[in-house]
Structure 1
Amino acid sequence: MEILVLFRGMCAQLAAVALLGAALFRLYYSTWRISGRHRKRLAAQGVGGPRPSLLYGNVPEMQRIQAAIARGGSGEVAGSHREAGSGEFVAHDYTSTLFPYFEQWRKQYGSVYTYSTGERQHLYVNQPELVKELNQGFTHLGKPSYLTKRLAPLLGNGILRSNGPCWAQQRKIVAPEFFMDKVKGMVGLMGESAEQLLRGWDQMIEAATASSGGLTAVDIKVDEDLREFSADVISRACFGSSYTEGKEIFSKLRSLQKTISKHSFLFGHNFSGFLPTKKSREMNSLEREVESMIWKVIEERELECSEKDLMQMIMEGAAYNQQGLDKAFSRRKFIVDNCKNIYFAGHEATSVAASWCLMLLALHPEWQKRVREEVERVCKGGGSILDAESLAELKTVTMVIQEALRLYPPAAFVSREALEDTKVGNITVPKGVCIWTLIPTLHRDPEIWGPDADKFKPERFADGVTKACKHPQAYVPFGLGPRLCLGRNFALVQLKIVVSLFVSRYGFCLSPKYRHSPIYRMIVEPEHGIHLLVQKI
């Protein structure tokens, strides 16, 4: 009898496994067939691309190309480790290392081509005119659903990954808090946070000077401190708290970001999501911790009478949401998801942009001198904290930041999914196809920017973006159209404050410890940090 029961149990288990396997195969086969039909429709319109394999599309080829690049070096940009203090040896073209398959296919098939990841067909677009159209269609183009699903632990269904009415509602709440009139009111707060950061560096330099008996340069890993500075600013400006109070939230979000980025979340297979893994369990645990910590902050806020900052607006928006605009979006989820988006996007991308900006200035002391002279002239001595009016006069600082964002835009891609059959230029993009634009490639195209496109030349922005290149729509560090980054003004003002105060107080160059190795972790950041030799002026 026991043997019979055991046998029946085994049969039931085998049947369940067989049914699950059949269901998965049917699902995968059906999606693969859809991907194939999309490819044929694009090919009929003259859009070529690499030939896909039967089940996995071009993923094996992408992996082979990436592996070949990895075998060819340590992952660092070629030649960048030699004489790190010389701009001549830091190569700014990192796309051939991070996304070599895109570069190889672009050279082979042109600036518009199609490729497959098995269950998904993708369209690569790097023509300025098409990029402009791509960023205008917000009703029939949205964030890729398969990609945002993978980012859900970090971003929930907040403004960065939602589409349609849900996105429009959240934008209506969040956008006004980042209009320039509001951002101008945050300048003093940003200056205070920056001064706190610089006082810490002053103490390090003074201690080193005292121990050496003379003025000395100190090796500082500035990206870590800039991340804390940026987190402090977003915490105080938008949530009425200091970075110290929210430090654990930022730390957990950073861990979650790294965990998601360990494997290729851009072009991996959706099948992996069916099976529990150590990585998925780690993400689930971090996600629960982050949501719990944010909700604790919310509950504390509800007990006090707070001023009308962004968190208060989100809480009020959640009350409106409960009235029935989106029944699936609970009050708690609405608040927590939007806070996660702002905590992450509001500090991570800005701190990384500031880090790259200081790296470029370290390579070009002549631009440090020009910035220093401008700040001294505008601030009449350079010793006072900048105000909103002074920031508007810093033309050289603006040029430096614009050029840094051109060479090292934190966001590597503009990505969209056709929510219905969509016309982009002369191409009809079938519903379900994902469209990609590689921003760094667009920003360094010699046909758009000239033969010096790979060089750091802030003067190209002397007369603004419209005169900097042939096609202004090819400059998209913050995106374009209705889904333009809501925090653009906030980020630019913060960058101006960091660059102005840092350069006016210190002279600096790249440390021998610096290794130029951009890495993609949802944004393009320095893998080994930004080490600078910093000396007080």
Structure 2
Amino acid sequence: MGPMENWEPLSKARHTRPCLPSDLREHSREIQRISAEALLKKIPLEHDVLHRLAPFYYRWSIMYGKTFLYWFGWKPRLTISDPDMIKEVLTKSDGKTFEKIQLNPLAKLLFGDGLIQLTGKKWAIHRRITNQAFNMERVKAIKGVYIPGFRFLPTKMNKERWRLDKETRESIRMLIETNKKAREDSRNLLGLFLSSYKNEDGEEERLGIEEIIDECKTFYFAGKETTANLLTWAVLLLALHQEWQSRAHEEVVSMIINETLRLYPLGPIMSRQTCKKVKLGNLNIPANTQLYFPLAAVHHDTEIWGEDANEFNPSRFMEPRRHLASFCPFDKDYEAVLWTRITCAEG
């Protein structure tokens, strides 16, 4: 009896169709093969791009339905695109029922242990500090600035990664020292990180230098690079749909940004992991099961958005969302507000 037959939900969650592998490596190889094939295909201009953004989901959902189970190595992954289930998971991502999946080591090297990766008390502390730095007035003020094993081997690519990481950390450390000496504006992001804060017991505490460096990396890579990608697509869409250019003023910028994020989400897949045995909808899911939400599929679902789901139509955001989880371009509501402020300012 293979590992799939032993997985408890197979006997209880009958609405979930498993994608059965002959061995635990098969699905990983199949995902790599499907993704490689997808990269060779051209992206059409009508925005029907699910086969490119989430190619393995696109193919397997046709075979197994919108909710299915597959294996990534020895870990079971349950793929869910039902907005009600997604909403339930995101509202209970407190580290007790559901939690974030740890970044892979290469991604962690890029972001460090910043806001995107943190949970619980540390996340709340970093959120409180960053929220002060990124109120809308402060964000507007920066507009003028913008015109398992392989990683340890001393390969040419890894040496370059290590060099860049060292150089980045040293540069940030120099900025920290400069800011410490100047202290001209302690209310900017770096100044707030350096300032002390009161913990729950009313005691004064400070973030460590390494914590500050990781947060600086997070806000640069997550705030700058993802924004550049988003704005590239937004400009292309406006070029293709010139009737919207004359309406691209302050009242409709957020609609254009949201519609761009719907068609081309910054992260086509969001993930969580169960902390304990849980019941989600009609599924009984054991602890330590990875949950994958194909946001690109939800954002392009005609049952949710109508027959024009693959068309660029910012006016769909003039009215309140029909479902809280049907449009989810960011990991949390707070992060959505934070990155939207940065994006609108840079745009």
Q: Same fold (TM over 0.5)?
A: yes
TM-aligned CA distance change 1:294 to 1:274, over 3 Å: closer
TM-aligned CA distance change 1:318 to 1:349, over 3 Å: farther
Matched, 1:475 2:327: yes
Q: Is the CA contact 1:318–1:331 (under 8 Å) kept in the aligned structure 2?
A: no
Q: Is the CA contact 2:4–2:20 (under 8 Å) kept in the aligned structure 1?
A: no
Q: Is the CA contact 1:319–1:331 (under 8 Å) kept in the aligned structure 2?
A: no
Question: Could you tell me which of 116, 140, 154 is aligned with 2:110?
Answer: 154
Question: Which residue matches 2:133?
Answer: 177
What amino acid does structure 1 have at the position aligned with 2:329?
P
Q: Is the CA contact 1:183–1:489 (under 8 Å) kept in the aligned structure 2?
A: no
Consecutive unaligned residues in structure 2, runs of 5 or more: none
Distance 1:454 1:346 in 2: 27
Q: Is the CA contact 2:193–2:207 (under 8 Å) kept in the aligned structure 1?
A: no
What is the aligned-residue RMSD (CA, Å)? 3.0
Question: Which residue matches 2:42?
Answer: 76
Runs of 4+ in structure 1 deviating by more than 6 angstroms, as ranges, are 318-321, 323-326
CA offset digits 1:344-402 (Å, max 9, x no partner): 1222222222221111000011111233xxx4xxxxxxxxxxxxxxx4xx1x3332222
Distance 1:492 1:187 in 2: 10
Question: Which residue matches 2:338?
Answer: 487
Measured after TM superposition, the shift of residue 136 of structure 1 is 0.6
TM-aligned CA distance change 1:189 to 1:40, over 3 Å: closer
Question: Under a length normalisation based on structure 2, what TM-score does the superposition of the two structures give?
Answer: 0.87
Measured after TM superposition, the shift of residue 419 of structure 1 is 2.8
Distance 1:317 1:96 in 2: 48
What amino acid does structure 1 have at the position aligned with 2:167?
E
TM alignment of 1:168-207, pairs within 5 A = 168-178=124-134, 182-190=135-143, 192-193=144-145
Distance 1:163 1:107 in 2: 35
TM alignment of 1:408-487, pairs within 5 A = 408-463=264-319, 465-466=320-321, 470-481=322-333, 484-485=335-336, 487=338
Consecutive unaligned residues in structure 1, runs of 5 or more: 1-32, 81-89, 194-227, 230-269, 376-390, 499-537
Question: Could you tell me which of 197, 205, 215 is aligned with 1:338?
Answer: 215
What amino acid does structure 1 have at the position aligned with 2:34?
I
What amino acid does structure 2 have at the position aligned with 1:56?
R
Measured after TM superposition, the shift of residue 296 of structure 1 is 0.8
TM-aligned CA distance change 1:432 to 1:279, over 3 Å: farther
Q: Give the number of aligned pairs.
A: 340
CA offset digits 1:44-80 (Å, max 9, x no partner): 222222112424251122223234445xxx3421xx4
Matched, 1:40 2:12: no
Distance 2:287 2:56 in 1: 24
Matched, 1:297 2:175: yes
TM alignment of 1:299-314, pairs within 5 A = 299-307=177-185, 308-314=187-193
Question: Which residue matches 2:165?
Answer: 287
TM alignment of 1:500-519, pairs within 5 A = none
Measured after TM superposition, the shift of residue 302 of structure 1 is 0.8
Distance 1:111 1:123 in 2: 10
Question: Under a length normalisation based on structure 1, what TM-score does the superposition of the two structures give?
Answer: 0.58
Q: Is the CA contact 1:132–1:480 (under 8 Å) kept in the aligned structure 2?
A: no
| Percent identity between the two aligned chains | 28
TM-aligned CA distance change 1:423 to 1:311, over 3 Å: farther
Question: Which residue matches 2:82?
Answer: 127
Question: Could you tell me which of 219, 227, 230 is aligned with 1:353?
Answer: 230
Identify, as 1 or 2, the structure richer in helix: 1
What amino acid does structure 2 have at the position aligned with 1:316?
S
Query: SS at the partner of 1:65?
Result: helix
